Chains A and B, each alone.
Chain A
Amino acid sequence: DIQMTQSPSSLSASVGDRVTLTCRASQGIRNDLGWYQQKPGKAPKRLIYAASSLQSGVPSRFSGSGSGTEFTLTISSLQPEDFATYYCLQYHSYPLTFGGGTKVEIK
């Protein structure tokens, strides 16, 4: 199985901050990576697919980059509604595997 490691596991930030989340794969996955946002009691919501493609309807302050084993999700200017937990998902090979998540909290 491909192991996905997210860092940090949590962070505190202020509205307007630029935030960068990292996801590392235990082996190369090309660009077969998605990013998801999950709020308490809700299902995850896809933000990014193919490592850098923005899901329709998602604000442009979200961006993804990377290929191979290292990936990042950047929020250019954190908004109140962005406080949530973010997960990466590799779909390069089965079983699909998720990172452990990064919880973005209000400072």
Chain B
Amino acid sequence: QLQESGPGLVKPSQTLSLTCTVSGGSIRSGGYYWSWIRQHPGKGLEWIGYIYYTGITDYNPSLKSRVTMSLDTSKNQFSLKLSSVTAADTAVYYCARSPGYRHAIDIWGQGTMVTVSS
């Protein structure tokens, strides 16, 4: 299971920080790819990026300049940081798992709503 956590409100120009806690297995096992995906209110889904259990990352070019992902294997968590946020970053953020590089996402967290507003 996956569970997102983090502030629900972030001020413009600040950094959005979210954590996904993985339960039921080690984040280092199985060759999984751990992704962040977001969904603007009433809109479709946008893949933000992934982090592999080795720490390798790949980000969506549309967000690459502002995104950083990291792992904390001691806590079985992975994290997202999105810098210089604006109102356009207001969305539900999901963490998710893919069983391999070219495999469909199979497990999603429940999602957490983040609003960017002063």
Contact = CB atoms under 8 A, between A and B. Distances in A.
The B interface, classified by DSSP as helix, strand, loop or mixed, is: loop
Interface residues of B, number: 21
**Interface hub of B47, B61, B104 (most chain A Cβ within 10 A):** B104
Given A43-B94, A91-B98, A98 B104 contact: no
Contact of A32 (B47, B102, B110): B102
The A interface, classified by DSSP as helix, strand, loop or mixed, is: loop
Chain A interface size range: 20 to 34
Contacts of A95: 47, 58, 60-62
B19 interface: no
A44 B97 CA distance: 12
Interface of B: 35, 44-47, 50, 58, 60-62, 94, 98, 102-106, 108-111
Interface of A: 1, 32-34, 36, 42-46, 49-50, 55, 87, 89, 91-92, 94-101
